[in-house]
Chain A
Amino acid sequence: MADNDYENRVVEIYRQYYLDVYRFLICFTGNQNDAEDLTQEVFIRVLNNFKNFHSGSSSVKTWIFSIAKHIAIDHFRKKRFSAIFTDGFFKQLASTEKEPNDLVEQNEIKKMVHTAISGLKPSFRAVVILRAINEFSIKETAEVLNCSESKVKVDYHRALKILKCKLDIGAEEVIENAN
C-alpha cells in the first residue's frame, strides 16, 4: 500500500465511523470533551495499527470498536475514583442549558439516566451502548467484546433490567419530590 493511499484509506475509515465511535464514547463517558478526545485517540490508534490489521479475522467495524472499547475502559479506570467524572457531566449540562422552567424536569431525567448508566459495570455499559445506540447485531457485539453471542444476549437483558429498575425508582423519586 502506497503511503498516500494509506493516509486516504484511514481518513475514509474515519469519515465512515467517526459518528458511531463518538456516540459510543459519549454514552460511555457522559462528557463531550472526553468523548471527543477519546474519539481522536481511537482513530490515531487505527492509523498506527492499520497496516497490522488483517480483514480476515474481523471486519474493520468491529476492529475499530474493540479499540474504542479498550480506550473507553482504560479511561473509566483512570477516572474511577475521581469526582471529575460526574462533575464534568453536570457542568457541561449546566453550560449548554439556560434552563427555562419547563426544561428543569427534562434535565432531572437526563441526570438520572446518566447516573444509571454510569452505575453499570463497564462490560454491561458497553453491551447496552453497542446494541441500543450503535444498533450492532448480536454477532458484531460479540466480536467487539470478544465473547460468545449468548453472553451478549444475557448481559444485554440484565443491563436493561437494571436500568429500568433504577429509572423507575428514580422517576418515582422525582415525582415524589415534585409533590
Chain B
Amino acid sequence: MQTDKALINQIKETYSMEPRPDFVLNTELELRKAARKMKRKRTFKLISLTSSGFILSFLAILWIFSFNGKETIENTLSSFVENNPLSVVKNSEPLVYIYHSHNQESFISETKTKDPNNEPYHPTRNISLVGNRFSQALKERNISSVHDTSDTMGILQDRGLSYDQSYSVSRESLEESLKNNPTIEMIFDIHRDSNEKNGTTAKINGEDFARIAFVVFRSNVKDEDSLKFAQHLHKIVEGKYPGLSRGVLVKTDPNTQNTYNQDLKNQSVLLEIGGVENTLEEEYRTADALAEVVEELLKYQK
C-alpha cells in the first residue's frame, strides 16, 4: 500500500507541471487583445446607444412640436367652427365667382386723364384690381373664390364685336368655371359707375369708401332669387357700414333678352363699386368691407 503522499508525488511526476513560457506570455497577450476588443465593442455600443438615444429624442421632440402645432391649428379651427356655424373655413372649393364684363373700366386717378367727357379705361390699371382685392379679402376670411381676369374688352376688340356683346364674352368663361367648380354659389360682376364723386363716396369713421350699388336685371328668369340676394347684401352692408350702399337697383328692360348672365345662378348680382373719380384706396376699402359682408351672409345662410 502506498502512502497518500507518495501517490500524490507520483501523480505530480506524471505530468509536466510547468506550462511552456511562450504559452504563458502568448496567453497574456491574447487576454490583452481580447480586453481591447471588448473595450472597443463596448465603446461602439455606448456610442451607438447614445447617438440613437439622441436621434430618438430629437424625433420625439420634432413629433411633439409638429403634433402640438397641428393640434393648435385644429383647436383654432374647431373653436372657429364652434363659434360660427359656418364651414367655409375648411372649404377650399370656391364659393364665389368674380368677374368683370367691362374689365378695362378705370379711374381718373389711374389714367390721369383730364377730360371729364372721356371715361377712363386702362388695359391693366382698371376695375379688375378691385376684383383682385375683393378675392384676396375673401381668401383672408378663408373663403375661396375664382377671379376671372380675362381681358373681356380686349377680346371684344379682337373679335370686332360691339360693346353690348361683352356679357356674352364674359359668359363664356363664367359657364366654363361653373362647370369646373360646381361649388360656386355667388356670382359678382364688378363694374365702376360713371357718376360723380359726391354720389359715389361715403365717409365712414373718418375714411372715404367707394359706394356700392347692387344691380339686378328684371329680364332674367331667376330674378326673384337674384333680387333677394341683392337685398340681403344691401341689408348687411347697411347694418355694418351705414351709407355705403346705394341700394338695390332693379333694371327692367322688356325689349332686350339680355339677362346680363344673371340667369346662371340664383345668387348673381352686378356691382357698381365707386365711380370714375374714386381712388383705388377707396375702392379697396369697399372691397374689404364687401368681403366681410359676404362672409356674414354665408354664416347667415348656413
Chain A residues packing against B (C-beta within 8 Å): 3, 6-7, 10-11, 14-15, 18-19, 22-23, 26-27, 30, 32, 35-36, 39-40, 43-44, 47-48, 96, 109-110, 113-114, 117, 128, 132-133, 160, 163-164, 167-168
A113 to B10, CA, bound (A): 8
Known: A6-B35, A47-B35, A164-B2. A40 touches B11 (CB 8 A): no
A167 to B10, CA, bound (A): 10
A26 to B17, CA, bound (A): 7
Find residues 19-39 in chain B having any chain A CB closer than 8 Å to their own CB.
19-20, 23-24, 27-28, 30-32, 34-36, 38-39
Chain B residues packing against A (C-beta within 8 Å): 1-2, 4, 7-8, 10-20, 23-24, 27-28, 30-32, 34-36, 38-39, 42
Out of A7, A39, A110, name the residue touching B19 (CB < 8 Å): A39
| Chain A residues in 8 Å Cβ range of B38 | 47-48
A26 to B38, CA, bound (A): 29
| Chain B residues in 8 Å Cβ range of A6 | 35, 39
Q: Which residue of A lies closest to B29 (CB)?
A: A11
| Chain A residues in 8 Å Cβ range of B27 | 14, 18, 36, 39-40, 43
B13–A167 CB distance below 8 A: no
Out of A19, A128, A168, name the residue touching B2 (CB < 8 Å): A168
B38 to chain A, nearest CB (A): 7
Q: Which residue of A lies closest to B36 (CB)?
A: A7
A36–B2 CB distance below 8 A: no
B16–A132 CB distance below 8 A: no
Decide if the interface of chain B is mainly helix, strand, loop or mixed.
helix
- Taking A110-B13, A113-B14 as given, write out 8 further A-B residue pairs in contact, using a Cβ cutoff of 8 Å, ordered by the A residue number: A7-B31, A14-B28, A32-B19, A36-B27, A47-B34, A48-B38, A109-B14, A163-B7
The 9 lowest CB-CB distance pairs between A and B, nearest first, are A7-B35, A113-B14, A132-B8, A3-B39, A22-B19, A110-B14, A26-B15, A36-B23, A40-B27
Decide if the interface of chain A is mainly helix, strand, loop or mixed.
helix
Out of A7, A40, A109, A128, name the residue touching B30 (CB < 8 Å): A40
| Chain B residues in 8 Å Cβ range of A43 | 27, 31
B11–A133 CB distance below 8 A: yes
B21 to chain A, nearest CB (A): 11
Q: Which residue of A lies closest to B43 (CB)?
A: A3
A158 to chain B, nearest CB (A): 13
A40 to chain B, nearest CB (A): 5
Q: 6 A-B residue contacts at CB 8 Å?
A: A3-B39, A11-B28, A14-B31, A18-B24, A26-B16, A133-B11
Out of A19, A27, A44, A114, name the residue touching B34 (CB < 8 Å): A44
| Chain B residues in 8 Å Cβ range of A40 | 27, 30
Known: A11-B28, A164-B2. A36 touches B19 (CB 8 A): yes
| Chain A residues in 8 Å Cβ range of B8 | 132-133
Known: A39-B19, A43-B27. A133 touches B12 (CB 8 A): yes
A167–B7 CB distance below 8 A: yes
Known: A14-B28, A167-B7. A35 touches B19 (CB 8 A): yes
| Chain B residues in 8 Å Cβ range of A160 | 4, 7
A133 to B15, CA, bound (A): 11
B5 to chain A, nearest CB (A): 9
Most interface-central of B7, B19, B20, B39 (chain A CB within 10 A): B19
| Chain B residues in 8 Å Cβ range of A32 | 16, 19-20
A175 to B30, CA, bound (A): 47
A44–B7 CB distance below 8 A: no
| Chain A residues in 8 Å Cβ range of B31 | 7, 10-11, 14, 43-44, 47
| Chain B residues in 8 Å Cβ range of A35 | 19
A128 to B74, CA, bound (A): 81
A131 to chain B, nearest CB (A): 9
A109 to B10, CA, bound (A): 8
B35–A27 CB distance below 8 A: no
A46 to chain B, nearest CB (A): 9
Out of A26, A47, A48, A164, name the residue touching B7 (CB < 8 Å): A164
Most interface-central of A7, A96, A133, A160 (chain B CB within 10 A): A7
